[in-house]
Amino acid sequence: MSLLGLEDRQWIFLATVVFVVTAALGTYTALKLHRKARRPYTLVLVSFGWILQTIGLYARGLEYGGCPLSNQFELVQFMVWSAIALYIFVGPAFRVSFLGMFTSTFASVFSILSLTIQSWDSPSRTPIFGDSPWIETHAALALFSYGVFGILALTSVMYLLQSRSLKQKNMGGLFPYMPSIFELTQINFRLLTIGFLILSASLAIGAVYWSHEIDSVDLPKLGTTIVVWFAYGVLLLLRFRQTLSYKQYSWACISVFAAALLSLEAVDQPKAKESLLPDSAPPARSP
Amino acid sequence: MSTHHGELLLITINHETVSLEERERYSLDDEQIKVLYEALHRSPVIEESLILNTCNRFELYSKTSDPKSGEAIAFETLGSFYNIKREEVESHARIRFGQEAIKHLIEVSAGLRSQITGEAEIFGQVKEAYATCQQLGYSGRLINRMVQKGFQAAKLIRHSTPIGEGQINISNVAVDLSLKIFGSLKNTSALVIGTGEIGGKTAKALKSRGASKFGVASHHSERANEIADEWGGNPHTLAELETYLNDYDIIISSTETDSPLLDARSLEKHMDARKNRPLFLIDLGLPRNMDASCQEIENVYLYNLDDLAKIAEDNLSERRAAIKHSEEIAAQKSASIWQTLESRGLVNFQ
């Protein structure tokens, strides 16, 4: 749908450009100019990109009067939107320097992927989660938790980079601009807890809906969702009991997030669409 | 430099112009600075002045009403004040006029002219010197404008170039690394093994950045008690190291030992009990106090004297590489400040 003279995908394309510029500027400033891009500049740029993305998603949502969660393109965009929102609104409390640069890189990569792979923006115009506001809340919360887990994967990467630099005594590159490994372990724990609680709340809402309409949920979707929730739950328990080393824990956070992303495929699986799609669905869109 | 810029005169005696022995003669205390100001301002030719006196430099910035005689009067006054022949003072000094004097002030304030390139302390010293000058009433419109704008330019240099970045002495490099591991030192505890100077300096640097819990270990309990009393902290004997090792997050070792105090095998036993708490080993001893195998253990970060020295050297090289760009900024800013002074009629009277 067109809003303010631009199509929804065009707004999202512009947002992606802003995310790419932010990531490129942050990297250039650190590696070439040996300076850290100041947080206000990064925040303004990322927020600008986020506003453009919000307009794009809003335009998409207007088309079918609900949350734009009807195909993989929209699921990925909503997850990126959630991660950026978390950085903008909760990020300052984390006090993790350079998180803006990593978040914009994350947003750039997933946004470019979702814009490039045409099949992700399949011709579904009916939300795959149905039209109940509760099930929409369930879906939005689940994807928001994926945004949190995305940030967790980023801070895990930051931990591994910092720890490796300290071990190898390599003080160049991004090392001087990133936070201490202790701060990163603390923030990782908080992100895992927040993400797990949000995902649990989402599943609780989904379970209530499911118990009323037991046929509405496909087994692969239910299975993968429970596996992702269980995996993060186990990680949280292991982290709490200090069973894993921080290095193992960081790798686990990255791996589980990668697996969680793959589970989006199951969420957007054909059976669900077939049951919900009207007969005359519009064709896939191009930017 | 054209002579009509002589109304702003700088006389500088510093580590670039004379040896330490000579520089010592120009060192002043607060009372002497006051007396020198009075001596300079006895002449009506000296209208405004600013004296900067640090351990490495003596500098006099003056506004003179007569550029030709101002320089002679300033040297004459310095000669009689220090009881040194005027010619000798002249041979120790370098002179700068007008815009070049402003450029020099910017470079000094930004740490470009310091013996340790990029050190930050000098900025505070220039500020203090300016405050004294203002308090005594020897600054005027020219000095005020020059110093205030000069400070802005110096800050710009420090913020836009890596001139002051990275630590360049071993103790501070160790502290910086501790911060990269633990974030804040407030809740970390440090153990100093051996009672040598460098270990003491590192402990002091950690203390200055917030570390509060210390231990001191020595081969002999009397010595450990003695140093613990002096530095503050818990005394330990080295023979019992394994019993208190887990109480500490940072271990600074610089003791004489025939065999390593710690190796991977001895450390591994403690790692479970540490519950993922990192351990930072700073080995400042020669021969080395920690076996290189310690580094293989996860969550253990081992740095020896060479590692720390290399980081300090790399940081210094980075700072030196930034000098050229910093000087360009100083030249650009001094030209702009000089133009402002001209446009306001504060200089260039013929």
* pLDDT (mean) for B311-327: 89
How high is the pLDDT of residue A36? 64
Please return the burial class of B190, using the count of CB atoms within 10 Å of its CB with bins 0-12, 13-18 and 19+: buried
Distances (CA, A) of A159 to A76, A100, B3, B166: 25, 15, 60, 21
d(CA B303, CA B305): 7
How high is the pLDDT of residue A127? 56
The domain ranges of chain A are 2-276
Higher pLDDT: B328 or B228? It is B328
Report the CATH number that the domain containing residue B112 is assigned in CATH.
3.30.460.30
- Our CA-based measurement puts residue B159 at a distance from the nearest CA of chain A, in whole angstroms, of 9
How high is the pLDDT of residue A272? 45
| Least confident segment among A34-48, B23-37, B42-56, B63-77 | A34-48
Residues A146/B146, Cβ–Cβ less than 8 Å: no
How high is the pLDDT of residue A34? 67
How high is the pLDDT of residue A43? 83
Q: Is the sign of the CA dihedral B25, B27, B31, B32 positive or negative?
A: positive
How high is the pLDDT of residue B203? 82
Q: Is B4 on the interface with A (CB under 8 A)?
A: no
**Facing B183 at nearest CB: one of A35, A182, A246:** A182
**Facing A182 at nearest CB: one of B162, B278, B303:** B278
Q: Kindly state whether residues B106 and B239 are assigned to the same domain.
A: no
Q: Do A182 and B181 touch (CB under 8 A)?
A: yes
The confidence band for A93, taking pLDDT boundaries of 50, 70 and 90, is: low
Q: Kindly state whether residues B132 and B185 are assigned to the same domain.
A: no
Strand pairing of B213-218 and B189-193?
parallel
How high is the pLDDT of residue A269? 57
Which residues does A101 contact at the CB level (< 8 Å), separation at least 6? A22, A23, A26, A27, A30, A37, A42
Q: Kindly state whether residues B18 and B140 are assigned to the same domain.
A: yes
Report the CATH number that the domain containing residue B223 is assigned in CATH.
3.40.50.720
Residues 217-256 of A with CB under 8 A from B: 242, 245-247
Judged against a pLDDT cut of 70, whether residue A202 lies above it is answered with yes
| Least confident segment among A37-41, B115-119, B241-245, B287-291 | A37-41
Q: What value of ipTM does the predicted structure carry?
A: 0.77
Q: Kindly state whether residues B43 and B128 are assigned to the same domain.
A: yes
Q: Do B182 and A180 touch (CB under 8 A)?
A: yes
Q: Is the sign of the CA dihedral B69, B73, B76, B82 positive or negative?
A: negative
Q: Kindly state whether residues B249 and B306 are assigned to the same domain.
A: yes
| Least confident segment among A202-206, A211-215, A247-251, B31-35 | A211-215
Q: What is the pLDDT of residues A14-72, one digit of tens each?
A: 999 998 998 888 888 777 766 666 677 788 888 999 999 899 888 888 877 767 777 88
d(CA B347, CA B336): 13
* pLDDT (mean) for B179-199: 87
Out of B1, B35, B55, B321, the active site residue is B55
Judged against a pLDDT cut of 50, whether residue B350 lies above it is answered with no
For residue B162, say if its preceding peptide bond is cis, omega within 30 degrees of 0. no
Q: Do A181 and B295 touch (CB under 8 A)?
A: no
- When the pLDDT of each residue in chain B is averaged and rounded to a whole number, the result is 89
Quick check: is B55 catalytic? yes
Q: Is A212 on the interface with B (CB under 8 A)?
A: no
Q: What is the pLDDT of residues B256-279, one digit of tens each?
A: 888 889 999 989 888 888 888 999
Q: Is B140 within the bounds of a domain?
A: yes
Q: Is A182 on the interface with B (CB under 8 A)?
A: yes
How high is the pLDDT of residue A74? 84
Q: Kindly state whether residues B37 and B145 are assigned to the same domain.
A: yes
Give chain B's domain count: 2
| Residues in chain B closer than 8 A to A176 (CB atoms) | 165-166
Tokens 């009397």, residue located: B222
| Residues in chain A closer than 8 A to B182 (CB atoms) | 180, 182
Q: Is A162 on the interface with B (CB under 8 A)?
A: yes
| Residues in chain A closer than 8 A to B319 (CB atoms) | none
How high is the pLDDT of residue B144? 95
Judged against a pLDDT cut of 50, whether residue B3 lies above it is answered with no
| Least confident segment among A123-127, B222-226, B273-277 | A123-127
Q: Kindly state whether residues B67 and B194 are assigned to the same domain.
A: no
Q: Do A167 and B180 touch (CB under 8 A)?
A: no
Judged against a pLDDT cut of 70, whether residue A283 lies above it is answered with no
How high is the pLDDT of residue A286? 40
* pLDDT (mean) for A100-118: 87
| Residues in chain A closer than 8 A to B318 (CB atoms) | 34
Direct distance between the N- and C-terminal alpha carbons of chain B, in angstroms, rounded to an integer: 15
Q: What is the pLDDT of residues B129-184, one digit of tens each?
A: 999 999 999 999 999 999 999 999 999 999 888 888 888 888 889 999 999 999 88
Q: Kindly state whether residues B22 and B156 are assigned to the same domain.
A: yes
Compute CA A238 distance to the chain's CA centroid, rounded to the nearest angstrom: 23
- When the pLDDT of each residue in chain A is averaged and rounded to a whole number, the result is 81
| Least confident segment among A265-269, B59-63, B189-193 | A265-269
How high is the pLDDT of residue A257? 92
Q: Is B350 within the bounds of a domain?
A: no
Judged against a pLDDT cut of 60, whether residue A280 lies above it is answered with no
Q: Kindly state whether residues B114 and B189 are assigned to the same domain.
A: no
Phi, psi for residue A159 in degrees, rounded to 5: -60, -45
Q: Do A182 and B311 touch (CB under 8 A)?
A: no
| Residues in chain A closer than 8 A to B275 (CB atoms) | 242
Q: Which residue of A has its CA nearest to B179?
A: A180
Range of the domain at B229: 170-312
Share above pLDDT 70 across residues of chain A, in percent, rounded to a whole number = 81
SS3 per residue for chain B: CCHHHCCEEEEEEECCCCCHHHHHHCCCCHHHHHHHHHHHCCCCCEEEEEEEECCCEEEEEEEECCHHHHHHHHHHHHHHHHCCCHHHHHHHCEEEEHHHHHHHHHHHHCCCCCCCCCCCHHHHHHHHHHHHHHHHCCCCHHHHHHHHHHHHHHHHHHHHCHHHCCCCCHHHHHHHHHHHHHCCCCCCEEEEECCCHHHHHHHHHHHHCCCCEEEEEECCHHHHHHHHHHHCCEEEEHHHHHHHHHHCCEEEECCCCCCCCECHHHHHHHHHHHCCCCEEEEECCCCCCECHHHHHCCCEEEEEHHHHHHHHHHHHHHHHHCHHHHHHHHHHHHHHHHHHHHHCCCCCCC
Q: Is B317 within the bounds of a domain?
A: no
Q: Kindly state whether residues B67 and B183 are assigned to the same domain.
A: no
Phi-psi region of B210 (alpha: psi -120 to 50; beta: other; left: phi over 0): left
Judged against a pLDDT cut of 70, whether residue B219 lies above it is answered with yes
Q: Is B282 on the interface with A (CB under 8 A)?
A: no
Q: Kindly state whether residues B187 and B336 are assigned to the same domain.
A: no
Q: Is B96 within the bounds of a domain?
A: yes
How high is the pLDDT of residue A260? 87
Q: Is B261 within the bounds of a domain?
A: yes
Q: Do B311 and A171 touch (CB under 8 A)?
A: yes
pTM to 2 decimal places? 0.76
**Facing A166 at nearest CB: one of B276, B301, B310:** B301
Q: Kindly state whether residues B198 and B242 are assigned to the same domain.
A: yes
